[in-house]
Copies of this chain bind each other. A is one copy, B any other.
Amino acid sequence: MNKIIEEKIISEERVFTGGLVKVNRLEVILPDGKPAAREAVRHPGASAVVPVDENGNVTLVKQYRAPIADVLLEIPAGKLDFPGEDRLEAARRELREETGFIAENWVHLTDIVTTPGFCDEVISIFLATGLTAGDDEPDEDEFLNVVKMPLTELLEMADRGELTDSKTLIGLMLAARKLKA
């Protein structure tokens, strides 16, 4: 028997505005009619790319992430420049800026919500093939190392729990399923 589970949002107000993080407070009516409060980090969204070359190698970036005080191995990705920016265009830009690559073929793999309990961030993930090398142009405050690894080896790392970034795990596993790797 299906229960009614939808909540009705009756108001939303900004309660924190940081440089990057913006938090809204939502008043909702629960399915049982009771009022409740929810919080939502409002995020512009992002695009991410799994760039796979003709030998089955993936180009990734190692990047320091201050919130977890650690270096992560991630597929190239970046926030949209403005809300509503074309997500494929954003993916092309991030791939070029972070790795220098231009890709001939683009396939949309999926859109993910990273942590929908308290945030509206949506990341669109693309598979890029037919790669041509160019010059990378990282943002001024972005310090990266570009690494190239076989997709098969990355999948084994995923199986061993050695990859932890969510967009990266999803992009690699969906790309492998698409490419039958």
Question: Which chain A residues have a beta carbon within 8 Å of chain B's beta carbons?
Answer: 2-7, 9, 15-16, 18-21, 23, 25-26, 28, 30-32, 34, 36-41, 43, 62-69, 71-72, 79, 108-122, 141, 143-145, 155, 158-159, 161, 163-167, 169-170, 173-174, 177-178
The answer to whether A40 and B67 touch across the interface, beta carbons within 8 angstroms, is: yes
A31 vs chain B, min Cβ distance (A): 5
A3 vs chain B, min Cβ distance (A): 6
Q: What residue in chain B is nearest A124 (Cβ atoms)?
A: B161
State A130–B114 Cα separation when bound (angstroms). Answer: 29
Contact A19/B39 with A116-B68, A117-B65 known, Cβ cut-off 8 Å:
yes
State A36–B4 Cα separation when bound (angstroms). Answer: 47
State A166–B20 Cα separation when bound (angstroms). Answer: 21
Q: Which listed residue (B63, B66, B108, B170) contacts A26, Cβ 8 A?
A: B66
A109 vs chain B, min Cβ distance (A): 7
By a CB distance below 8 angstroms, the chain B residues around A32 are: 143
Q: Which listed residue (B110, B116, B166) contacts A72, Cβ 8 A?
A: B116
Give the most central of A21, A32, A79, A120: most B CB within 10 Å.
Answer: A21
The answer to whether B170 and A6 touch across the interface, beta carbons within 8 angstroms, is: no
The answer to whether A18 and B23 touch across the interface, beta carbons within 8 angstroms, is: yes
State A116–B174 Cα separation when bound (angstroms). Answer: 21
